[in-house]
Amino acid sequence: MKTRALAAGLWGLLAIILLSACGAPAETGEGVSDDSLITVGFSQVGAESDWRTSCTNSVMEAFSEENGFNLIFSDAQQKQENQIKAVRDFISQDVDYIIIDPITESGWDQSLKEASDAGIPVILVDRAVDADESLYTAAIGSDFELEGKKACAYLKAYLDKMSYKGEVNIVDIQGTIGASATIGRSKAFDDAAKKYGWNVLAQETGEFTQAKGQEVMESILKRHDNVNVVYCENDNEAFGVRDAIESAGKKVGNNIEKGEIILLSFDTTRAGLTETLNGTILVNTECNPLYGERLASMVKTLEEGGTLEKHTYIDEDQYSANELVKSVTVDGKTYPVTILTQEILDERPY
């Protein structure tokens, strides 16, 4: 809360004391009065994927009035100009905090400077920005390049375990161009393809949506009849890619020797893990969207005068129903692969 809200709170307290002294009952209604709520403006990317919906729900749940917040939610519909406008609106509404999930990595300096000049702390969530870090208070998100490295390490280990000696004719269906999620996952893909000699047939954006994922895969399959691995940069794209492959009369699956097309995916949403358990997706690398409680606790820490880590990466897992590869090693560190079961899927929170 800023000075204005604090002053209102003090006046409210004084009024209650005076009323109590006069014999009138003190206000004890459920919930808290509006003036005591912490106002938070949240600029969300859009509603492009199942992951995004889970992220939005998680934030809305954590920033409820019962928890002491007044959340102003703004859906940018995947357009950065909408986010920049939302941030200006939050500033003119004099919110207490601003949370941004930045669609793209660049183009944030001016907007962050405006929030900083207005004295409003900004927390970045999920994706990153390339702006000067003095312009925001803290950032919490995924290490997207690590996610990509884990996915590529899995593929390499899987093919080695299969003793596969043929060509790896691979396609990368990228996420939104310019998003840090895409930049990190695509970089890991490019590096691995170079290192392992994979033959990259195409690298195009599926914009993190099922429809676009399907559309680009259909067009790629018309140009290339030898695709045997698709690196999908999120679950919704993987669903679209699966549909495109099946409508082209080809088979998705893990037996590359028999002409099946291997799918790799990211997010590990319930729907994505369902396709992982049934073998449609060979390996699904987690990108956890449940930021609500973490963000609410960060805001509460600031509210109490505490400080936050500048950058926090969350821990993420990797899942496969195939038991051949039980761990992957990236940059000298070993990460376990969880062998997916129905029980694990049933307990999945998103």
| Complex with ligand AHR: residue 145 or 267, whichever CB lies closer | 267
Least distance between ligand AHR and beta carbon 181 (Å): 4
- Residues 6 or more apart whose Cβ sits within 8 Å of residue 244: 213, 214, 215, 217, 218, 221
Q: Is 275 in the site for ligand AHR (CB under 6 A)?
A: no
How many angstroms from the chain centroid is the CA of residue 342? 24
Q: Is 150 in the site for ligand AHR (CB under 6 A)?
A: no
Q: Is 273 in the site for ligand AHR (CB under 6 A)?
A: no
Least distance between ligand AHR and beta carbon 210 (Å): 10
Q: Is 40 in the site for ligand AHR (CB under 6 A)?
A: no
Tell me if residue 320 falls in helix, strand or coil. Answer: strand
Q: Is 282 in the site for ligand AHR (CB under 6 A)?
A: no
Element (H, E) at 180: helix 180-196
Task: Tell me, residue by residue from 42 to 81, as one string, x for binding to ligand AHR by CB under 6 A and - for no binding.
Answer: ------xx-xx-----------------------------
Q: Is 145 in the site for ligand AHR (CB under 6 A)?
A: no
> Which one of 181, 221, 230, 298 is in contact with ligand AHR (CB under 6 A)?
181
> Which one of 287, 295, 321, 337 is in contact with ligand AHR (CB under 6 A)?
287
Q: Which two tokens stand for residue 51?
A: 């992951």
Least distance between ligand AHR and beta carbon 175 (Å): 6
Q: Is 123 in the site for ligand AHR (CB under 6 A)?
A: no
Least distance between ligand AHR and beta carbon 234 (Å): 4
Quick one: angle between helices 235-247 and 50-62, nearest 10?
Answer: 160
Residue 204 pairs with which residues in a beta bridge? 173
* Residue/partner pairs of 296-304 with CB below 8 Å, 24 or more apart: 296/62, 296/63, 296/67, 296/69, 298/123, 298/138, 298/140, 299/38, 299/40, 299/69, 299/97, 299/123, 302/97, 302/121, 302/137, 303/1, 303/38
Q: Is 127 in the site for ligand AHR (CB under 6 A)?
A: yes
What is the C-alpha radius of gyration for the chain, rounded to an integer number of angstroms? Answer: 23
Residues that bind ligand AHR (CB under 6 A): 48-49, 51-52, 126-127, 181, 208, 234, 266-267, 287
